[in-house]
Amino acid sequence: MRATATVRDLRDQIRSGRRSAVEVCRETLTRIERLEPSLHAFNSVTTDLALARASELDAQRDRWRDAPLLGVPIALKDNLCTRGVRTTASSRMLESFVPPYNATVVERLCQAGAVVIGKTNCDEFAMGSSTENSAFGPSRNPWALDRIPGGSSGGSAVAVAARMATVALGSDTGGSIRQPAALCGVVGLKPTYGRVSRYGLLAFASSLDQIGPLTRTVYDAAVTLTVLAGADPADATSASTPASDYTAGLTGDIRGARVGVPSSLLENGVEPDVLRAFRAALETLASRGATLVDLELPHARHAIAVYYLIATAEASSNLARYDGVRYGFRAADRPAQAGRHEQTDALRTMYAQTREIGFGPEVKRRIMLGTYVLSAGYYDAYYLKAQQVRTLILRDYDRAFERADVVAMPTSPTAAFKIGERVDDPLQMYLADVFTVSANLAGLPAISVPCGFTTEGLPVGLQLTGRRFHEATLLRIADAYEREAPWHTEEPRISKEVRI
């Protein structure tokens, strides 16, 4: 796959017959074959299925001519169900699980002419900020192989950054699309909660999870969202608010747009290089005609605590289904001829051993935290209180949007840290999401776009958060910034070394 190719490039080339979908697919698979041993972006690569799909598109090009993602190679985070293709959530618990159905987003990608090339590595059950919690080993940042790519959608970010996929889907519960996008130098979009169907997503925290794209450009994110967005009768939480063609508003004109900056949140804990790149990005937005507005988000300092109460409580509930009975890993079968009491003891032992062996340390940590939060005597003090503060965080944003169209912050307070650097310090790991969790708590859309590099050559991301269901405004402002500051055109050296 030619390293400069975007969704628009590939789609137009295949439509015109200048290239075939099979040619594009083979080039993509060749890049994966060469880069995967160094990067570990994928848990599985669907070579035969991808080539068969590409051949079908070429054979019926007239039928697919208007498909918005015609022939585009797309990778899927490995917590999205794919019919007949292993879906593991990077967990031993689901190491052999093959779903009998596709997630709604997968169906919509296929209807749009996409070619699914594989399933990407992630933190186990999407719980983490570095992809180090994968049961199958960490992914590596293509800008520096000793660094984490972010998480939990780390494999998806690596695949796009290293040009092993033109688009990848991730899930975002507290920043899991935007943070790895920032650390790998790509675009990551978390839509409004309910904008995209969650049917077929292996749930982590059901009131926070949302599916979205990681791409090379804002346009590519916009066209992918156009495909994914819309109500789904299979998902009761999907919104009926009409979606639109999100590429239509990408005019480059943001004169009069108001960009809110919560300056007081940036006073501590942000690396100097990150702060420098962020301030330069604000100057660029102002030069395009945007007005910068200083504002306050007074309850944002509580967001991490609130998030890790609500998210763990919901994780404890959602992951209770993995008990070794219905599907997935089972530690041992109960004796068939044992007496009733022996069978009961054996069943309890099987439950305990299944979860002890099947789940990794971080997942078990969050299940235990969530179970404690929901337990009698602590529910009101922790979970209920967290939900009340969540409402205050949402009201802060509502007030902010009376004065601003978007709120700007760095996506991550730091650039990518070294693999292994924080594995023994969960609190420091959790603080990687300090600027991203509020959008999930409030159900707001947010996007990360590349905005520069540190002195060590590591990518930095600019995060913009918008009003509910105002993805069009978010994308328009992000696109205008990207036109003026084309950091997205930079390519990791490891990717440059692979030429097809």
DSSP state of 379: I
Q: Is residue 206 flagged as an active site residue? A: no
- How far apart CA 68 and CA 65 sit, in angstroms, is 9
8 Å CB contact between 3 and 500 = no
Q: Which of 171, 176, 238, 412 is catalytic?
A: 176
270 phi and psi angles, rounded to 5 deg: -100, 125
Q: How far is CA 479 from CA 89, 166, 193, 248, 465, in A?
A: 32, 18, 22, 12, 14
Q: Is residue 152 flagged as an active site residue? A: yes
- How far apart CA 122 and CA 138 sit, in angstroms, is 8
- How far apart CA 156 and CA 67 sit, in angstroms, is 23
Whether the CA torsion 61, 66, 67, 69 is positive or negative: it is: positive
8 Å CB contact between 419 and 153 = no
- How far apart CA 67 and CA 220 sit, in angstroms, is 14
Q: How far is CA 267 from CA 215, 271, 301, 329, 427, in A?
A: 31, 10, 12, 47, 20
Whether the CA torsion 95, 97, 103, 108 is positive or negative: it is: positive
Roughly how many angstroms between the first and final C-alpha of the chain, as a whole number?
A: 7
Residue 358 neighbours by CB under 8 Å, 6+ apart? 91, 92, 93, 322, 324, 328, 329, 331
Q: Which of 77, 171, 316, 438 is catalytic?
A: 77
- How far apart CA 108 and CA 105 sit, in angstroms, is 5
Residue 300: which of 411, 421, 439 has the closest Cα?
Answer: 439
140 phi and psi angles, rounded to 5 deg: -120, 145
Q: Is residue 55 flagged as an active site residue? A: no
Q: Which of 129, 130, 139, 152 is catalytic?
A: 152
Residue 278: which of 182, 188, 189, 186 has the closest Cα?
Answer: 182
Tokens of 424: 């023994």
Active-site residue set:
77, 152, 176
